Amino acid sequence: MKTSFCLSLFLLGTAMAPAENWNQFRGPTGMGVAEGVVPTEWSNASVAWKVELPGQGQSSAVNWGPKLFVTAASKDGGTRSLLCLDKDNGKILWQRDLATKQKEALHKMNSWATPSPVTDGERVIAFFGPAGIHCYDMNGKKQWSKNLGDFPGGWGIAASPIIADNQVIQNCDATGPSRLVSLDKRTGETLWETKRNDKPRGGWSTPILIKTKKGSQLILNGEDGAKGYDPVKGKELWFCQSFNGRGSPVPFHAHGLVYVVNGKPGDLYVVNPNGAKGNVTKTHMAWHAKRNGGRDLPSPSVIGDYALVTAMGGVITCYDAKSGKTHWVDRLDGAFSGSPLVANGLYYVQNEAGVTYVVRPNGKALEIVSSNDLGASDEEIFRATLSPIDGKVYTRSQSTLYCLKGEG
């Protein structure tokens, strides 16, 4: 566990999931980057199947092979559920319900089933905040459960677990005692805990694992800024101060740099993690650019030489990924909560009405390749992220899961 050999295994354990498996929130990289063919056009006629879920939630679908996993919760939050479905027809193969009296307060935009599950093909792990973190084998047999705290505050939780080698890593930010936790994925035993600031507004951002010139780092956004950690021991390596707090979007790693947006209206800032130690706000911030589009829930994306960010209100901005120069600013229709998908050199972002815009990045102007409406009802709200699996796209509203076969 404490050797460089284990560190290499740690990196491989995260990055080497077979390409057909979208095994965690925003896929194997944690940044919404897909390989292979992903449809660019769909409509109501493209719905291969849809299924009403036994509860509500905002988690995104993950898979391993033919099995699809998603979570839901009862309207009162008293029951949290992990569901396993057949990805080809939406049939529920098994469902595991967890009764809880630990019902955290929620922001009106949050749910009691917002974190996405994670799987490595041998087990699937789901996190429900004060209702605990739970591990099952692929057939639904309970392996272990662990209480990770009360998560006080009025915002709820949203950070998803990730698996890396023999660890499952969970961001446990809350309005109160906060920490980053590593558990043995096989037993639930605590491997390490690292204290974080005690009074962030909530625990929404999910860590990503990156490779730098001097080894692997865990990168995690937060209320006060972005931080890098040693993934083996959990030691904080560096910190870069944010411009306006909140810290819910997941950072993006490209060109050897880490791209971060705050959550509240503020700057897009870019950190060089190579050789970073301590407070690197003045030494390793490569550039920062003002953002005037409002609050950010969607995470930033980088495609080639372009960095794109869509604000909650639909303002989309394209920056030069290496200099921070603003190429253009435009607006997409609707409200946006889910993070984008990057595939085929294109940028996919879905609004809360279930309409997905496919954008081709360029340095001149907004170029919409397609605008795809799956024909959802007016009552449905889409705050999950898109999951591209085996040539199809899976998405969910609060209570319905869709499989889209695409038209192009």
Q: What is the predicted pLDDT for the residue at 262?
A: 83
Number of structural domains in the chain: 1
C-alpha distance from residue 279 to each of 180, 198, 226, 241, 252 (Å): 19, 18, 10, 8, 20
Confidence bin at 334 (pLDDT 50/70/90): very high
**Tens digits of residue pLDDT in 113-133:** 999 999 999 999 999 999 999
Lowest mean pLDDT, pick from 73-77, 176-180, 236-240 = 176-180
Confidence bin at 110 (pLDDT 50/70/90): confident
Q: Per mean pLDDT, which of 104-113, 116-125, 398-407 is the most reliable?
A: 116-125
Provide the b/e sequence for 208-237 (b: ≥16 CB within 10 Å).
Answer: bbbebeeebbbbbbbbbbbbbbbbbebebb
**Tens digits of residue pLDDT in 137-147:** 999 999 999 99
Is residue 320 predicted with pLDDT exceeding 90? Answer: yes
Return the half-sphere exposure (C-beta side, CA atoms, 13 A cut-off) of residue 399: 10
Is residue 109 predicted with pLDDT exceeding 90? Answer: no
Residues spanned by the domain of 80 = 4-404
Q: What is the predicted pLDDT for the residue at 56?
A: 96
Mean pLDDT of 135-162: 93
- CA 362 to CA 12: how far, in whole Å? 33
Taking every pair of Cα atoms in the chain, the longest distance, rounded to a whole number of angstroms, is 54
Confidence bin at 47 (pLDDT 50/70/90): very high
Give the number of other CB atoms < 10 A from CB of residue 22. 27
Q: What is the predicted pLDDT for the residue at 15?
A: 40
Question: Nearest CA to 242 among 296, 171, 194?
Answer: 296
Q: What is the DSSP letter of 33?
A: B
Is residue 104 predicted with pLDDT exceeding 90? Answer: no
pTM score, whole prediction: 0.93
- CA 225 to CA 209: how far, in whole Å? 17
Lowest mean pLDDT, pick from 193-207, 271-285, 323-337 = 193-207
Q: What is the predicted pLDDT for the residue at 8?
A: 43
Q: What is the predicted pLDDT for the residue at 202?
A: 64
Q: What is the predicted pLDDT for the residue at 106?
A: 85
On whether the CB atoms of residues 256 and 274 are closer than 8 A, the answer is: yes
Q: What is the torsion angle, in degrees rounded to the nearest 10, for the CA atoms of residue 63, residue 170, residue 353 and residue 223?
A: -160
- CA 157 to CA 10: how far, in whole Å? 26
Percent of the chain with pLDDT over 70: 94
Q: In terms of DSSP bridges, do strands 355-359 and 225-229 run parallel, antiparallel, or are they unpaired?
A: unpaired
Confidence bin at 399 (pLDDT 50/70/90): very high
Mean pLDDT of 282-291: 92
Q: CATH code at 30?
A: 2.130.10.10
Averaged pLDDT score across all residues of the chain: 91
DSSP class per residue in 339-357: PPEEETTEEEEE-TTSEEE
Higher pLDDT, 108 or 343: 343
Q: What is the CA radius of gyration of the chain?
A: 19
Q: What is the predicted pLDDT for the residue at 408?
A: 57
Mean pLDDT of 158-163: 96
Mean pLDDT of 312-329: 96
Name every residue whose Cβ is closer than 8 Å to that of residue 49 and which is 6 or more positions away in sequence: 89, 90, 402, 403
Higher pLDDT, 153 or 250: 250
**Tens digits of residue pLDDT in 1-40:** 443 434 444 443 444 455 579 999 999 999 999 998 899 9
DSSP class per residue in 77-124: SSEEEEEEEETTT--EEEEEEEE-S------TT--TT-SPPEE-SSEE
Q: What is the predicted pLDDT for the residue at 203?
A: 65
Q: What is the predicted pLDDT for the residue at 17?
A: 53
DSSP class per residue in 153-201: SSS-B-PPPEEETTEEEEEE--SSSEEEEEEETTT--EEEEEEE-S--S
Q: What is the predicted pLDDT for the residue at 307?
A: 97
- CA 282 to CA 287: how far, in whole Å? 10
Report the amino acid identity of residue 155: W
Q: What is the torsion angle, in degrees rounded to the nearest 10, for the CA atoms of residue 213, residue 214, residue 215 and residue 221?
A: -80
What angle (nearest 5°) sits at the alpha carbon of residue 36, between those of residues 31 and 38? 80
**Tens digits of residue pLDDT in 258-272:** 999 987 777 899 999
Question: Nearest CA to 120 among 133, 135, 142, 105?
Answer: 135
Q: What are phi and psi of 67, to 5 degrees?
A: -100, 130
- CA 180 to CA 205: how far, in whole Å? 11
